[in-house]
Structure 1
Amino acid sequence: MTAPSSALRGVLVAFGAYAVFAFSGASIKILHGGVPAYQIAFIGALFGGAALPFIKARGDSWFDVVRSTNRPLWLLRFVCGAIGAIASIITFTKLPMAEAFCLLFLLPSFVTILSVIFLREDVRWQRWAAVIIGFLGVLVVLRPGFRELSAGHLAAAIGGLVAAISIVVMRKMGPAEKRLSLYGAALLGTIAVSGILMLSEMVVPTPRQWLFIASYGLLGAAGNVMLMTAARLAPANLVAPPQYSQMLWAIAFGYLIFDDSIDLPMAAGIVLIVCSGLLTLAREKKRGTPLPRAVVSADNQAPLATSAEETSAAERPAQSASPATSHA
């Protein structure tokens, strides 16, 4: 396969992966809060384990799910996975889909700020400008003082922040950490924490609710595998930008299914936030910084695909391996 055709296939698979993640988020919203968020997170994470056989590399042991080269950082990702899953479920339950994605797309801005604080990265004015544009977009969308803010808005901010912490943790741990360990930390964290929390409030899902909870978890797992495949076919700088296509899915779902509407200020805010994210990705590509994984799945566990190692592998056209043969 030639390099251009491999890259094109990778980009198309990435678009498909982000569409799958959008459908996963819509599955949560269809539940309309009929099942507690902790319980959705727990059951969804169990279904999310379906991705593990595809993430496991040749020569890996299943015990690598809990092994780590840096236990404190693994435990931090464990906690962030649980908080992010619960927060994102609350976000999609409480907010219109377009607004939910809009706020979660603040992830690159959070990553920039945390990278300066904890990784001592040299961030120049162009990336700070992107951060400012992103937060201006949020102010335009939220219009504090002119509309009532809800628990969904707070959950979106928390979800974006803990996902950013996870990215910084992944960068700190480096390519020596196996993908199975990285994914396992978030998956096990969600199962353990949400499993404990849901004991205080449990319901027996109806068959219809089971269908959409399973859809949430299985589509999230499928999206992970698709995005890892995309990262083998195309460079990370081509795989990351299609995440913003989710906004089109969110608008379509909102209009056709959930009777949502978007006014002019919200549309303007969405444009500013998307521009902020794309500017950040462009700057990180130019500086050779490993691109952050996107917050694209409802459970915040997805895309471990944009590490420096994966980028270099994707740029070698003769080596478009299957997901089962990779390491993080």
Structure 2
Amino acid sequence: MFKGVLLGFMAFAAYALSDAFVKSLRGSLPAYEAVFFGAALGLTALPFIKGNGDRWHEVLFAQRRGLYLVRAVASAVGSIAAVIAFTALPMAEAFALIFLLPIFVTILSVLVLKEHVGWRRWSAVVAGFIGVLVVLRPGFRVLGIGHLAAIICGLAGAISMIALRLSGPHEKRVTLYGAGMVGSMLFTGVLMLADFRWPTLAQIGLLLGYGLLAALASVLLMLATQKAPANHVAPTQYSQMLWAVVLGYVLFDDRLDWPMAVGIAIILGAGLFTFVREDKVTRWWKRMRMV
């Protein structure tokens, strides 16, 4: 159990470092081009994620094709939005808005899965959106494309999670992982046709850090869920906020004022409470083969 949780913390530290690499590009490449190379490098994790009974063609072919397509598109949209958000916003602020994901999952669980949501989880949803208002302070500060992109990223992640819940019991690990990588590559590859820019040597180095660290994080996360129940590993994702504050301050001179810090705390608290309540009510992790 301890090793699994520790691997979870290591996985999300690698994810945070991956985000720092892509933020270091500072918009010098189109977001969709960064995502294309990141997804291509993400395929390096496949040999480690592939189970003994998995077949290579299952990266592309799923039992539930519609849900595979939903996850592929949601992954591509979410990844592009994440790159835009990290480029435009301080890391902690971007993470705070992306961490609306569990709140969106709760709403989609009612709309799509027809799950019952009690007053406690609805209260967390309301609190989460209050936290967003505190962070954004509309009318008191200038809002930009980065804020919208971060929220879209959280929503895309929630859509992908709902599709994963529905398809998880029927698909292999390699299929679940492949949907995100292949979908992102195909979607962004088409966008690149209109305006492709060869990355410089420095940009290649940053792209390597972005893609390979994300691939490493995926492998670590898989190993974590093999050693500990997914419901114990998943909350370690909130450690990304600590990494975001530290990396943002050290590498990018990010600063957080008190209202933003309070709003971030509200969002994180609401998200974590939502996860814990959903954990007790739906037991969804038992129906999945991969986080």
If the length of structure 2 is used for normalisation, what is the TM-score?
A: 0.97
229, 248, 267: which one aligns with 1:254:
248
The equivalent residue for 1:32 is 26
Residue 48 of structure 2 aligns to which amino acid in structure 1?
F
Give percent identity, aligned residues only: 53
276, 283, 286: which one aligns with 1:308:
286
Contact 2:60 2:178 in 1 (8 A): yes
The equivalent residue for 1:152 is 146
1:75 offset after TM fit, Å?
1.1
1:198 offset after TM fit, Å?
1.4
Contact 1:47 1:214 in 2 (8 A): yes
Q: Secondary structure in 2 aligned to 1:147?
A: coil
1:174 offset after TM fit, Å?
3.7
Residue 202 of structure 1 aligns to which amino acid in structure 2?
F
Is it true that 1:123 corresponds to 2:141 in the alignment?
Answer: no
Deviations 1:57-86 (A, max 9, x none): 102110001121111111111111111111
Is it true that 1:223 corresponds to 2:223 in the alignment?
Answer: no
Higher helix share: 2
Contact 2:225 2:233 in 1 (8 A): yes
State the alpha-carbon separation in 2 of the partners of residues 182 and 12 from structure 1: 23
The equivalent residue for 1:284 is 278
What is the root-mean-square deviation in Å for CA atoms of aligned residues?
A: 1.4
Contact 2:168 2:290 in 1 (8 A): no
Deviations 1:152-209 (A, max 9, x none): 1111111111110111111122412112112111111111110110122222212111
Counting only pairs closer than 5 Å after superposition, residues 170-209 of structure 1 correspond to structure 2 as 170-209=164-203
Residue 140 of structure 1 aligns to which amino acid in structure 2?
V
The equivalent residue for 2:92 is 98
Contact 1:37 1:89 in 2 (8 A): yes
Contact 2:32 2:191 in 1 (8 A): yes
State the alpha-carbon separation in 1 of the partners of residues 155 and 30 from structure 2: 22
Residue 103 of structure 1 aligns to which amino acid in structure 2?
L
1:45 offset after TM fit, Å?
0.6
Count of aligned positions = 291
State the alpha-carbon separation in 1 of the partners of residues 266 and 175 from structure 2: 35
1:327 offset after TM fit, Å?
7.3
Q: 1:57 to 1:246 in 2, by over 3 A?
A: same
State the alpha-carbon separation in 2 of the partners of residues 187 and 233 from structure 1: 25
Q: Secondary structure in 1 aligned to 2:46?
A: helix
If the length of structure 1 is used for normalisation, what is the TM-score?
A: 0.86
State the alpha-carbon separation in 2 of the partners of residues 192 and 177 from structure 1: 21
Residue 228 of structure 2 aligns to which amino acid in structure 1?
A
1:270 offset after TM fit, Å?
0.8
Counting only pairs closer than 5 Å after superposition, residues 5-44 of structure 1 correspond to structure 2 as 7-44=1-38
State the alpha-carbon separation in 2 of the partners of residues 191 and 179 from structure 1: 19
Q: Which runs of 4+ in 1 moved over 6 A?
A: none
1:289 offset after TM fit, Å?
2.5
The equivalent residue for 1:162 is 156
State the alpha-carbon separation in 1 of the partners of residues 238 and 209 from structure 2: 22
Contact 2:168 2:287 in 1 (8 A): no
The equivalent residue for 1:46 is 40
Contact 2:72 2:180 in 1 (8 A): yes
Q: 1:209 to 1:288 in 2, by over 3 A?
A: same
State the alpha-carbon separation in 1 of the partners of residues 62 and 192 from structure 2: 28
Contact 2:96 2:267 in 1 (8 A): yes
Residue 308 of structure 1 aligns to which amino acid in structure 2?
K
The equivalent residue for 1:210 is 204
State the alpha-carbon separation in 1 of the partners of residues 228 and 290 from structure 2: 17
The equivalent residue for 2:228 is 234
Counting only pairs closer than 5 Å after superposition, residues 38-77 of structure 1 correspond to structure 2 as 38-77=32-71
State the alpha-carbon separation in 2 of the partners of residues 87 and 289 from structure 1: 30
Contact 2:176 2:290 in 1 (8 A): no
1:309 offset after TM fit, Å?
4.8
Contact 1:57 1:327 in 2 (8 A): no
Residue 35 of structure 1 aligns to which amino acid in structure 2?
L
Q: Secondary structure in 2 aligned to 1:200?
A: coil
